[in-house]
Amino acid sequence: MTHACTFTDHNSEVDLMDRRPATRSSLACIPCRNQHLRCDAVSPSCSRCQGLSRPCSYPESRRTGRSRARKPTSQSPLTVSTPAQSLLEDCGLLQPNSNQPVFTTISDAGSSPGFDTLLNLYYQRFHCSHPFVLPKAALQDILTAETPSIQRLISAMRYIGSFYTDPPLNQTTLADISTGPTDVVDGFSVQATLLMALAKSMCSEQAPSEELLTKAIQQAKSIGMHTKSFADAVEAYNSVLAESWRRTWWMIYVVDSNFSVIRRDHRTTLNSADYDVGLPCEDQYYCLMEIPRGAPSWQDYCNREFTLEEKHFSSFAYFIDANDIFVSSLRASHEFQDVSEAETLCDNLEATIAGWFLMLPASKRGLCVKPASVDQLMFQAYMMMYT
């Protein structure tokens, strides 16, 4: 049977337009190119990026002469001075070569004075997605300290760095040092225990990783790291260390939630509402060791839509919130008793997710897709929110 359709003149015109070969711009912005979308190549921001309120940038093009047209002395707002750029590269926030392989030979890894290959690999490959240990420049100042907890932390960092070597190194000694008994518990020993919990989880050794996380929580609470006063005690003379303590506690909180997802019971040990620890600042301030004064609280973040003046929150804060929403969504999927309750839960979750996106500042709506410049915490947050 033949199916005939009658089109109006207007529809015929639209149909003919759709059949025409699409003309493509010779230049497309990086966001559109990465998503394989059409781009009108309007400068400085294409129409699609303007509509989505996301950053828009174009690749260097020899054919169009864009590179030659720029003055060598001019800098874009995102360009940093050489010392600052070096610090950001040390923390893994900027990679000098975006085409670097994930696994590195010993001879290929960069080096810093006083740092060995494994520590460099830790900062290059792991730190930017788990940024709670001291920035590289700050850690270098205490690298030779004889404090057992610091040496234990260094061993844990080297252990993680060893996963990124090719061929893999013998990790037994490093693992034994990092997980051995501790006589004195301080912030550095908490960090070492947390790193080893993450490392064991990376190796799918879930039982040891759960034990290490439980130990890290116990250690942190025993010294008061879960309270605002713990970081405040060192804020006056070492704001970078205070920021590291805040970040360590919130990373423990996130890892506790992540492990509940791996177990598939979605039952967490910690609750964000129970703690008054200040929220972390932006990663670039941390790596540059320029910590803003007055860390906002979790309550400040939760009340941000009711404040009269706009207050800035870091990617870490949105990452924590996305983590909460993600875990609560998975937990809710097992808790409803009937269809009516399921509909209510879905409505509440939909409103929560929509609110998270609506409250994002323009600078965090959409990820920067420039090579080696992705905000790792926002990337993880987006992954959870879109799951």
Domain of residue 55, CATH code? 4.10.240.10
Q: Is 95 domain-assigned?
A: no
In a domain, 334, yes or no: yes
Q: Return the minimum-mean-pLDDT range out of 31-40, 123-132, 361-370.
A: 31-40
pLDDT at 107: 41
Domain range for 317: 303-359+372-387
Is 31 part of a structural domain of the chain?
A: yes
State the Cα–Cα distance between residues 40 and 36, nearest whole angstrom.
13
**Residue 339 falls inside a structural domain:** yes
Q: CA 79: distance to chain centroid?
A: 21
Residue 337 lies in a domain: yes
Which tokens is 152 given?
């234990």
Residue with tokens 């009658």: 6
φ/ψ of 282, rounded to 5, equals -65, 150
pLDDT at residue 48 in the model: 78
Confidence of residue 383 (pLDDT cuts 50, 70, 90): very high
pTM over 0.75? The answer is no
Q: What's the total number of domains in the chain?
A: 2
The last residue of one of the domains, among 40, 59, 78, is 59
Q: Is residue 108 part of a domain?
A: no
Q: pLDDT higher for 375 or 169?
A: 375
Of residues 358 and 104, more confidence is placed in 358
Predicted pLDDT at 70: 39
97 in any annotated domain: no
Whether 92 shows a pLDDT value over 60: the answer reads no
Could you tell me the pLDDT band of residue 100, with boundaries at 50, 70 and 90? very low
pLDDT at 165: 86
In which band, very low, low, confident or very high, does the pLDDT at 46 lie, cut at 50, 70 and 90? confident
More confident residue, 342 or 157: 157
The fraction of the chain above a pLDDT of 90, given in percent, is 45
- The answer to the question of residue 104 being in a domain is no
Give residue for tokens 């190796």.
203
For 21-45, what is each residue's pLDDT tens digit? 444 445 788 777 766 677 888 888 8
